[in-house]
Amino acid sequence: MLIMITQRCTPRTTPPTTREHEISQIVRDRTRKQIAPDSVRPIGRIATLAEAAEKFREHRARSIEFVTACQTDLRAFEIQHPVGGLVTAQECLTILTNHPARHAAQIREIRQSLGLS
């Protein structure tokens, strides 16, 4: 997702939006099931839980570094998101920061359904 923001965004051609809060709620809402596009599914790319955790930490560190150093108004750029449609770079960052919470909720749901909670 950070690659989308840093390498694929283009200057905005649409009117400004302030949908970050709404997008945050939508991303975290597990009552709305989403099927990830094949291009972002990690199937076969990560072999172990330890490797997944390490990749998460690496991507998180890069994201924090980007946000800390960014001096650009990310609402001035937009990109076509595979699920969200046309979003600003700020909205894309909102998706990025809320997405782990969605997966954590998904894991809790699975654990609960298996009687492991």
- The per-residue pLDDT for range 16-44, each reduced to its tens digit, is 778 899 999 988 888 988 887 787 777 78
Give the residue-averaged pLDDT of 97-114: 91
**In percent, how much of the chain has pLDDT > 70?**
96
60 exposure class (CB count in 10 Å sphere: 0-12, 13-18, 19+): middle
The answer on pLDDT for 1 being more than 70 is no
If one compares 100 and 40, the residue with the highest pLDDT of the two is 100
Q: What is the mean pLDDT of the chain?
A: 86
pLDDT in tens, 53-86: 999 899 889 989 988 999 988 889 888 888 888 8
Which contacts of 72-79 are long-range, i.e. CB under 8 A and separated by 24 or more positions? 74/5, 75/12, 75/16, 75/17, 76/11, 76/12, 77/5, 77/9, 77/10, 77/11, 77/12, 78/9, 78/10, 78/11, 78/12, 78/13, 78/14, 79/4, 79/5, 79/8, 79/9, 79/10
- What is the distance between the alpha carbons of residues 56 and 63, in angstroms, rounded to a whole number? 10
In this prediction, residue 2 carries a pLDDT of: 67
Give pTM, 2 decimals: 0.76
User: Which string of b and e fits 14-23 if b means at least 16 CB within 10 Å?
Assistant: eeebeebeeb
Residue 108 has pLDDT above 70, yes or no: yes
**pLDDT exceeds cutoff 80 at 101:** yes
Which pLDDT score is estimated for 82? 82
